[in-house]
Amino acid sequence: MSKRISDDELIDEFLLVKQFLDEVTKKLPIWLKTNAEELKDVLEELESHIWDKASELAQSEDPQVQHVREAIDQMGNPRKIAKEYRKRGKPKFYITEELWPWYYKSLIIVGVLVFFVNLITMAFTVGKGQAGQVIAQMFEGMFTGFAIGFAAISLVFVQLSMHGFLPKDLRVERITAIKEPKIKKPAKPKKPKRVISSQGGFLIEGILGLSFGFLLIFFPFFNYTPYYVFDMTLLVPWIRYFGGILVISGFIRFSQALIGDHLRLQQLFLGLYLVPQSLIIALFLQLQYNTAILKDPLLTSFPGADIGLYILIGVVFVCVATAIGMITEISKIIRLEFKGFSEEQLRIS
Amino acid sequence: MFRNIKTYRPEALIGSEQFRSYVESFESELLRGISTLSALSIVKRHLKDGIYGYQLLKELEAETKKILVIEEGTLYPILRKLERDGLLTSERKESGGRPRKYYKLTEEGIRLYNHMMGFFSKLLEAISPLMEVEVKLPEKKFLYCPNCANKIPQEEDIKFCNICGLNIEGLAK
């Protein structure tokens, strides 16, 4: 019976059924409660059963309160009924087999984010303490971040498994307006857009990084500082460090060119690429913090010039650009996890 | 079945919370698979028109002389799970003035049911000496695949088991 009127008007037997169904609804898992159609289906089926049973108990007369009450008693505990609806998925170490890929991906994302946040934090602390202390703080931060992230993600997924969530319940459906279909000329099939550069692209980046890096490290004119217009005593090692970072970056890109379409290794190297990028931020911040490297010598050579402002603008520009680059790398790691190498194809190795 | 026992003396063993919870838990574990299989057996009898939950329960009670008791409310989650797993299909129909959901076995459901039933039958036969009961399988009517225990009707002219692919031609017909 689907006769539903306000609580005050409900006659007792209807109220009893309503109370029972409300009790079951309260304890149902969220994925079922939020699916209006499925919820209606579940409740209608239970309600129909109660009225069938009550009618049988009333021996084909109109069921009275006591018949409905007995029928409800025989239905069992609402909590137990609701619990049965939660049983979805195959259990595997407290998390259902269906949710394992999501669990795994979430851990990777959290891991990458923790790594990134700690690198950025380290970049801002360089120059404010001993190198060993800064690195130790970074590792401590990473360890704590990984441990908290791991515990939190595991707890969430155990709970989701216990409530019978499946990956399809976690996906957000895109609601798009229905548009009039336009008649278009058949377009040429486009090449699927790659999430990361092609092997050729990585190779070029690698070669450029290695060449410029080594050039800056071994730049021969560094030995002839008297020819320069200002004192380069501290700037030379700075440029050599920069060259070293470019060499590391180039080496990583070169390795990526050799790896090809190996998902996990590409993700690993994209993650490793964050290291030289964060070092670039640290190195440029040194120009701001340690004025003896660039500002003081330039001021000696160009007294009265607003050198400090130009350096600040340059440092901010490089740091922001590098940070954006790092975020792009992280997004590539995540997109690789979910979409594979091409945006249009799903591919997980 | 303990769920059917409504009164007992407080000093009886069943009065002990520990004993009762242990046996109830054992019964629940044992019944989980059997309930599914029994429900499927009833649904299989209504291949053409299907069967709705309450009718299924009544038939189950009658067939098992009220020994197998499925808590009524928990039947529907079981049916829904079987439907989700592709063993059952459902259709809404109006009957007796109420909207009812009729369940039917799918092709895949029939195959899985035969396999599960065959496995369970052979299991019962195997453990029967341990329990001092006699189990006689209808081997004139059905062939039980020696490899995977799939239950295959003897009248069907099948050369290979449709579950494991074993050549069953000429086996005990």
**HEC assignment per residue over A16-78:** HHHHHHHHHHHHCCHHHHCCHHHHHHHHHHHHHHHHHHHHHHCCCCCCCHHHHHHHHHHHCCH
> Which pair of tokens denotes residue A190?
């486009």
CA torsion sign for B27, B28, B30, B36 is positive
Best mutation site among A2, A38, A41, A84 for testing chain B: the one with the most B CBs within 10 Å? A84
Predicted local confidence at residue B111, as pLDDT: 93
Q: Do B74 and A88 touch (CB under 8 A)?
A: no
Torsion angle defined by CA atoms of residues B47, B51, B53 and B58, in that order, rounded to the nearest 10 degrees: -100
> Is the CB of residue A84 less than 8 Å away from at least one CB of chain B?
yes
Predicted local confidence at residue B113, as pLDDT: 95
> Which pair of tokens denotes residue A143?
């360890």
Cross-strand partners of A91:
A96
Q: Is A161 left (phi over 0), alpha (psi -120 to 50) or beta?
A: alpha
Ranges of each domain in chain B = 35-105, 113-173
- CA separation (Å) from A331 to A141, A265, A267, A341, A349? 22, 16, 11, 13, 19
**What is the DSSP secondary-structure string of B46-62?**
TTTT-EEHHHHHHHHHH
From chain B, the residues in CB contact with A81 under 8 A are 71, 73-74, 76-77
Q: Would you call A205 helix, strand, or coil by DSSP?
A: helix
> Which pair of tokens denotes residue A277?
């990028």
From chain A, the residues in CB contact with B84 under 8 A are 88
- Structure-token match 């409800």, residue found: A72
Best mutation site among B31, B54, B84, B101 for testing chain A: the one with the most A CBs within 10 Å? B54
> Is the CB of residue A294 less than 8 Å away from at least one CB of chain B?
no
Query: What chain A residue is nearest to B99 in terms of C-alpha separation?
Result: A48
Q: Which of A147, A149, A125, A146 is nearest to A137 (CA)?
A: A125
CA torsion sign for A128, A132, A138, A141 is negative
From chain A, the residues in CB contact with B80 under 8 A are 42, 85
Give the separation between CA A274 and CA A282, rounded to whole angstroms: 12
Q: Do B74 and A84 touch (CB under 8 A)?
A: yes
Q: Which of A93, A105, A108, A120 is nearest to A146 (CA)?
A: A108
Best mutation site among A17, A45, A50, A60 for testing chain B: the one with the most B CBs within 10 Å? A45
> Is the CB of residue A39 less than 8 Å away from at least one CB of chain B?
no
Predicted local confidence at residue A222, as pLDDT: 53
**What is the DSSP secondary-structure string of A299-326?**
HHHSTTS-HHHHHHHHHHHHHHHHHHHH
Determine the distance in angstroms separating the CA of B152 from the nearest CA of chain A, rounded to an integer. Answer: 28
Determine the distance in angstroms separating the CA of B18 from the nearest CA of chain A, rounded to an integer. Answer: 20
Q: Do A48 and B80 touch (CB under 8 A)?
A: no
Task: Report pLDDT digits (tens) over B83-109.
Answer: 989 999 999 988 878 888 999 999 999
pLDDT of chain A, 349 residues: tens digit per residue:
444 445 555 568 888 999 999 999 999 988 888 888 889 999 999 999 999 999 989 887 788 889 999 999 989 899 989 988 888 878 777 888 888 888 888 888 888 888 887 877 777 666 666 777 777 888 888 888 888 888 888 888 888 888 888 887 766 544 444 444 455 555 555 666 777 777 777 878 887 888 778 777 776 555 545 545 566 777 778 888 898 999 899 889 878 877 777 788 888 888 899 999 989 988 888 888 887 888 777 777 777 777 788 888 888 999 999 999 998 888 888 888 877 776 544 443 3
**What is the DSSP secondary-structure string of A120-163?**
HHHHHHTTSS-HHHHHHHHHHHHHHHHHHHHHHHHHHHHHHHHT
From chain B, the residues in CB contact with A88 under 8 A are 81, 84
CA torsion sign for A295, A298, A299, A305 is negative
DSSP H helices, A163-198, are: 167-170
Predicted local confidence at residue B89, as pLDDT: 96
Determine the distance in angstroms separating the CA of A348 from the nearest CA of chain B, rounded to an integer. Answer: 25
Q: Is the ipTM of this complex over 0.85?
A: no
Give the separation between CA A187 and CA A236, rounded to whole angstroms: 55
Predicted local confidence at residue A347, as pLDDT: 40
Q: Is B36 left (phi over 0), alpha (psi -120 to 50) or beta?
A: alpha
DSSP H helices, A180-306, are: 199-217, 235-259, 263-272, 274-289, 295-301
- CA separation (Å) from A302 to A112, A220, A229, A287? 45, 25, 10, 17
| CB A263 within 8 Å of CB A348 | yes
Predicted local confidence at residue A89, as pLDDT: 78
Interface A:B, Cβ pairs < 8 A = 58
- The CA-based angle A96-A100-A104, given to 5 degrees, is 150
Strands A91-92 and B98-105, by their bridges, are: unpaired
- The answer regarding whether domain B35-105 maps to CATH 3.20.20.70 reads no
| CB B87 within 8 Å of CB B108 | yes
From chain A, the residues in CB contact with B78 under 8 A are 84
Give the separation between CA B133 and CA A173, rounded to whole angstroms: 56
Give the separation between CA A215 and CA A240, rounded to whole angstroms: 9
Query: What chain A residue is nearest to B98 in terms of C-alpha separation?
Result: A1
Give the separation between CA B86 and CA B109, rounded to whole angstroms: 7
Q: If you ran DSSP here, which 8-state letter would residue B32 be given? A: H
Q: Do B72 and A74 touch (CB under 8 A)?
A: yes
Give chain B's mean pLDDT. Answer: 87
From chain B, the residues in CB contact with A53 under 8 A are 54, 72
In angstroms, how far is CA B133 from the centroid of its own chain? 20
Task: Report pLDDT digits (tens) over B108-146.
Answer: 999 999 999 999 999 999 999 999 999 999 888 888 888
Predicted local confidence at residue A176, as pLDDT: 42
> Which pair of tokens denotes residue A121?
């934090």
